[in-house]
Amino acid sequence: MTPSITSLPETKLIGKKVRMNFLNNQVQQLWKSFMPRKKEILNSIVNDLYSVEVYDSLSYFDSFNPATVFDKWAAVKVTDLETIPDGMEKLIIPSGLYAVFTFTGTDNEAPAMYQYIIGSWIPSSSYELDLRPHFALMGEKYKNNDPDSEEEFWIPIKPKSDE
């Protein structure tokens, strides 16, 4: 499985976030609270949905601990950050390189894909993780938890530094 390497320009999002970990997984509640209000975001660019993870440090990936917390976002891309609906927040994803993996399958199959990316692909590539948001881009081929559902996993990378 080979990703495309893409240079992402700065990306502005508006959405809702929750501080969570995998022991207290609140992803479904987050999306259930966001989707009915998505139409309030008047300056959205496309219908694509962004499922974003913001980690406090790269040490999160050194040894996986399901109790380690991170910020989880449900968001959409916007033209500007001038008008933000009540109860929502802005997130700016800084520009940078991303490894983009196409994923087809159900929610239960996604952890194996992430394990492959972090445990196999990154160590054998000429890249290392960068401390920027990770996200799944869910476009028109996304069908919530359907085996034929397709989305893109965007993993922030930078060239490996010579040590």
The residue ranking higher by pLDDT, 144 or 113, is 113
Q: Distance between CA 50 and CA 90 in Å, rounded?
A: 13
Q: What percent of the chain has pLDDT over 70?
A: 99
Question: Please, what are the domains in the chain?
Answer: 4-159 (3.20.80.10)
Rg (CA), the chain: 16
55: number of CA atoms within 13 Å, CB side?
Answer: 20
Q: Distance between CA 69 and CA 55 in Å, rounded?
A: 8
Q: Count Cβ atoms within 10 A of the Cβ of residue 13 and give its class: 0-12 exposed, 13-18 middle, 19 or more buried.
A: buried
pLDDT above 70 (res 163): no
pLDDT above 90 (res 162): no
**Paired tokens of 68:** 């380690």
Q: Distance between CA 25 and CA 23 in Å, rounded?
A: 6
Q: Distance between CA 144 and CA 18 in Å, rounded?
A: 20
The mean pLDDT value of the chain amounts to 93
**Paired tokens of 5:** 């390497």
156 Cβ contact list (under 8 Å, min separation 6): 96, 97, 98, 129, 130, 131, 132, 133, 134
CB 103, CB 18: distance < 8 Å: no
Model confidence, pTM:
0.92
Q: pLDDT per residue over 34-51, tens digit each?
A: 999 999 999 999 889 999
Q: What integer pLDDT is reported at residue 118 of this predicted model?
A: 92
The residue ranking higher by pLDDT, 54 or 64, is 54
139 Cβ contact list (under 8 Å, min separation 6): 46, 47, 48, 150, 151, 152
